[in-house]
Amino acid sequence: RQAVKVLRSVSARYGLAIELKEALIGGCAYEAEGHPLPPETLALAREADAILFGAEGGFQYETLPRGLRPGDALLTLRRELDLFANYRPVVAWSELADTTIFKPEIVEGVDFVILRELTSDLYFGEPRGIERTADGTRRGINTMSYTEAEIRRIAHAGFRAARSRRGKLCSVDKANVLETMELWREIVNEVGTDYPDVELSHLYIDAAAMALLRTPKAFDVIVTANLFGDILSDEASMLVGSIGMLPSASLNADNKGLFEPVHGCAPDIAGKDIANPLAAVLSVAMMLRLSLGREDAASAIESAVRKVIAEGHGTRDIAKPGKEPIGTEEMGDKIVQALAA
């Protein structure tokens, strides 16, 4: 709701002719229509130029059969729209340095992007399931799988992203153990020959998880597989102070995108007016920049966020030591006020 509020406000100020249509997904869609991804929602998502996704879900849905859980709707949307390139920028705001668990010299100046492959890997590989074995016990199975084409297109996206930034690409895999990841490394190296100006390095996922905290400033663009990117991005949020600060963009080959916070839903704090809306608000900025071509409106939102946190306002997760946190709604209002100022 706060992100939509900010979008409406910025649209009015910048005269953006955005036609905003809303559709249900996840828990609320299941309640209303018995399915977390109703056909109308999928149709609208296909039709739209960009999708702003509000985190969905709740504890009460976690035991539903697979396919009916809120998270499954999001995964279907990613897959159906072929949103394979998930950009997760990690920028340490100096205004929040004292709310992180790190020494300032570690996090000050952190600025990298995790480019997570989003439509393949263990998330979608077949076979999958829980089966009965001959001895009557059960076995769980998931399949890590990447085709050459899937690796090639995300690698190209990674090199292009690095080229538009500081020219450094780190590919994260587990090629020492997994054949899928051996192929990953081979293809990334091959694609790299088209980008001699980009400095390519490789790390195994375990070493990357460590390096991300030890020397986070060494990273520019990290390109990695779906599951590894999921894990690394939650880890990286600690460098910024809170996962409530991380936006993301998931793009298809035509730059059509779905924009959502990195965090997913948080049922334990839902409805209490304490959640941090800034990841959602910053996702609106990414949407304006990447899918709608409005850099001016995008940077206005980011400046408004910076101004509000520089003034010392924060929801509980990013509140300054000794300062009273503000609520979700109030944070949304403050961003709108800062936009108007």
Catalytic residue among 121, 220, 230, 317: 230
Cis peptide before 38 (omega within 30 of 0): no
301 binds ligand IPM (CB under 6 A): no
Annotated catalytic residue 206: yes
**Rounded least distance, CB 167 to ligand IPM, Å:** 27
Neighbour-count burial for 261-281, b at 16+ CB within 10 Å, e otherwise: bbbbbbbebeeeeebbbbbbb
**Closest of 108, 106, 115, 83 to residue 93, by C-alpha:** 108
Catalytic residue among 206, 272, 273, 296: 206
How far, in Å, CA of 2 to CA of 338, rounded? 14
CA 324 to chain centre: 28
Task: Specify the stretch interacting with ligand IPM by CB under 6 A; choose among 70-78, 126-134, 208-216, 328-336.
Answer: 70-78
Measured from the CB atom, is 123 or 219 closer to ligand IPM? Answer: 123
Task: Specify the stretch interacting with ligand IPM by CB under 6 A; choose among 32-40, 71-79, 103-111, 141-149.
Answer: 71-79
Annotated catalytic residue 230: yes
| 74 binds, options ligand IPM, Mg ion, none, Cβ within 5 to 8 A by partner type | ligand IPM
How far, in Å, CA of 40 to CA of 257, rounded? 18
Sole binder of Mg ion in the list 95, 150, 220, 230 (CB under 5 A): 230
Sole binder of ligand IPM in the list 95, 117, 220, 230 (CB under 6 A): 230
Sole binder of ligand IPM in the list 6, 25, 74, 239 (CB under 6 A): 74
**Rounded least distance, CB 117 to ligand IPM, Å:** 11
117 - beta bridge partners? 85
Sole binder of ligand IPM in the list 54, 125, 192, 264 (CB under 6 A): 264
**Rounded least distance, CB 227 to ligand IPM, Å:** 8
Sole binder of ligand IPM in the list 251, 262, 281, 297 (CB under 6 A): 262
DSSP character string of 165-203: TTSEEEEEE-TTT-HHHHHHHHHHHHHHTT-TTSEEEEE
Measured from the CB atom, is 198 or 290 closer to ligand IPM? Answer: 290
| 198 binds, options Mg ion, ligand IPM, none, Cβ within 5 to 8 A by partner type | none
Task: Specify the stretch interacting with Mg ion by CB under 5 A; choose among 226-234, 271-279, 297-305, 328-336.
Answer: 226-234
**Closest of 30, 23, 32, 24 to residue 62, by C-alpha:** 30
Residues 20-39 close enough to bind ligand IPM by CB under 6 A? none
Whose structure tokens read 């709740």?
58
Annotated catalytic residue 123: yes
Annotated catalytic residue 334: no
3-state SS, residue 154: helix
DSSP character string of 45-114: HHHSSEEEPPP---GGGTTSPTTSSHHHHHHHHHHHTT--EEEEEEE--GGGGGGSSS-HHHHTT-EEEE
Measured from the CB atom, is 71 or 125 closer to ligand IPM? Answer: 71
Catalytic residue among 146, 174, 195, 334: 174
Amino acid making up residue 46: R
| 192 binds, options ligand IPM, Mg ion, none, Cβ within 5 to 8 A by partner type | none
Half-sphere exposure of 183 (CA within 13 A, CB side): 13
Give catalytic residues, as residue numbers: 123, 174, 206, 230, 234
Residues that bind ligand IPM (CB under 6 A): 71, 74-75, 230, 262, 264
